[in-house]
Amino acid sequence: MFKKEIHIPNEINDIVTAMTQEFVISSISESGTTSTITTPSVRIFDNLSEIILLTTGMVITINSKNYIVSNIVLLVGSATFDITATGLTATKWNVAASFKFGSRKEINQALQEETNNDSKFKRFPLIWLFTPIEKDYDNTAIDFEAQIILSLAYKSNKTDRAQIRLDGNIKIILQPLLRLFLAYCKSSDFNYMFEFEGYGKPINYESQDFYFYGTSDKTKEVLNTSTDAIEITFNLKFKKQFDY
């Protein structure tokens, strides 16, 4: 039995990958500039908990392009939702989120490279893991404890007032994405990794909403494009993992 090394960026990436798994499109119908998507389900049941993948205003990806969801109808075993699009021939969709980790400079370089490579539709929503990450090995009952800082960011207009950013980006796009991320952390696919306070209890964290994602300078933005963001800070206890 050998102790397995835990690399936090890889573990967070696995959670985001699970969040953005592809789902089947059963059918697509058009009316004017609106396409109505039918999919087998947007509900995930984990133990006794129900996770609703989509809320109105969330961003999804179809054929490498992002769309805003509207008019969700939850049915027994299926769901329908609308997007503004025509001529779609897709068979899959997924919740949109791009995971990156590193310093502010590195993240900005990566975003710029994606813009130059015409991948702008996949840059946001962004889930950014701050580095470096300090690990505490003082508790022998677990592997280690680490303070995790994540930023969930979405593009905005420089001229938007705070109320528009709150109603449009923070409440509609970023808060549901955060709830989804935390739900997946607690799901049976990933809770083997963490030592939580107790079964069914929420993950404790601190958060700050940024209606203009700026630096301490207040005149400069954190990212080299106008964004709004939710920053969360939480301490995660990682259980000891073993390879057999």
Closest C-alpha to 144, from 14, 7, 2: 7
pTM of the full structure: 0.86
CA distances for 200 relative to 49, 55, 109, 113, 236, angstroms: 9, 23, 40, 41, 16
CA-to-CA distance for 121 and 94, rounded, in angstroms?
A: 13
> In terms of pLDDT, which residue wins out, 78 or 230?
230
Beta-bridged to residue 128, according to DSSP, are: 100, 151
The CA-based angle 241-18-83, given to 5 degrees, is 170
Segment 8-18, tens digit of pLDDT: 899 999 999 99
Q: What is the mean pLDDT of residues 130-157?
A: 88
CA-to-CA distance for 31 and 211, rounded, in angstroms?
A: 35
Pairing of strands 2-3, 242-243: antiparallel
Domains in the chain: boundaries: 1-19+97-244, 21-96
Closest C-alpha to 15, from 241, 180, 239, 235: 180
> In terms of pLDDT, which residue wins out, 214 or 227?
227
CA-to-CA distance for 41 and 54, rounded, in angstroms?
A: 10
At 114 the three-state DSSP class reads helix
Domain 21-96 has CATH 2.40.10: yes
Kindly report which listed range (149-158, 182-191, 209-218, 226-235) carries the lowest average pLDDT score.
209-218
- Is residue 42 over pLDDT 70? yes
